[in-house]
Amino acid sequence: AGTVEVDEENETILANGTLIQVIYANDPAEIDYTAYDIHDAIVVDNTGRWRDEEGLSQHLRSTGVSRVLLTAPGKGGIKNIVFGVNSDDITPDDAIVSAASCTTNAITPVLAAIDEAYGVRRGHVETVHSFTNDQNLIDNFHSGPRRGRAASLNMVITETGAAKAVAKALPQLKGKLTGSAIRVPTPNVSLAILNLQLDRATTADEINAFLRQTSLTAPLRQQIDYSENPDAVSTDFVGTNRAGIVDGLATLSEGDENVVLYVWYDNEYGYSGQVLRVLERMAGVHPRILPRREPVRIEAALVEEALV
């Protein structure tokens, strides 16, 4: 909602009073940001063209750029940050940072909370993901054979690096998770199914109460939401600004160590919110919040509090 004006002569967009400068270049190093009065810029690279330090460092050769934020899982030694989980790992010396992926941001906060309270022994993550523009609209050649099939006509089994990426934010889960994905013909909002074996037994009611309380009062409440809407479907979560929404009515547990959780996420808007939070942390521009959010650990005692 609002007004958008395009000034073709000055190559700007005025969106709700915010002036956006449009800059074109074939090579990032060709751009002089200072010519537009932009200094010490953080470039947010969402092209997907480069994911390693060598490729992304091309932005650092641009005049006026100081740091780079990648909106995809980084390769090599690049820090993969899920805000709220390991965002304290960002330092002023980090010239290139990754905000991981939408799926990683959706599931990592939930896994962090569950692991802290119950302990995750092992698990599998199955993602039902809206199709993306790296798939073909009609059957055609593709480096990934299944992704070459028509995205709007098929459910497509594919790979996901989200399970491995979780371990970069939660090292204690390294080697404990597997993952796969199914691309489906919807434009937005995806669903992660977490099939977990815990260190101790629980029930659906208990773990739902814990996750609901986490979404309300815990430090991860910016990342985790909770729903018990009986007729909820994917479009109901369009525009959600939290990384993931636990669907409490879909939770499965028989009172033993095995639990299945369903986590919705707006893989566009919800993930963008996480990217902005990382960007604010890198730039040191987040407004002061009162009362101050203490970086307390999620304790199992929160389960008892939720059940009272």
Looking at the annotation, which residues are catalytic? 102
CA pair distance 53, 98, nearest whole angstrom: 10
- Smallest CA-to-CA distance from 265 within 44, 100, 88 is with 100
Long-range contacts for 52-58 (Cβ within 8 Å, ≥24 apart)? Answer: 52/76, 52/78, 53/77, 53/78, 53/96, 56/96, 57/95, 57/96, 58/27, 58/28, 58/29
- Is residue 122 within 8 Å of residue 142, measured between CB atoms? no
CA pair distance 82, 277, nearest whole angstrom: 10
SS3 237: helix
Is the peptide bond preceding residue 291 cis, with omega within 30 degrees of 0? Answer: yes
- Smallest CA-to-CA distance from 271 within 82, 127, 43 is with 82
- Smallest CA-to-CA distance from 173 within 264, 239, 110, 87 is with 110
CA pair distance 231, 262, nearest whole angstrom: 14
Query: Percent helix, strand, coil in the chain (nearest 5)?
Result: 30, 25, 45
For helices 102-117 and 204-217, give the axis angle rounded to 10 degrees: 110
CA pair distance 108, 165, nearest whole angstrom: 9
Which residue is listed with tokens 């080697």? 175
- Is residue 250 within 8 Å of residue 230, measured between CB atoms? no
Cα torsion for 166, 172, 177, 182, to the nearest 10°? -10
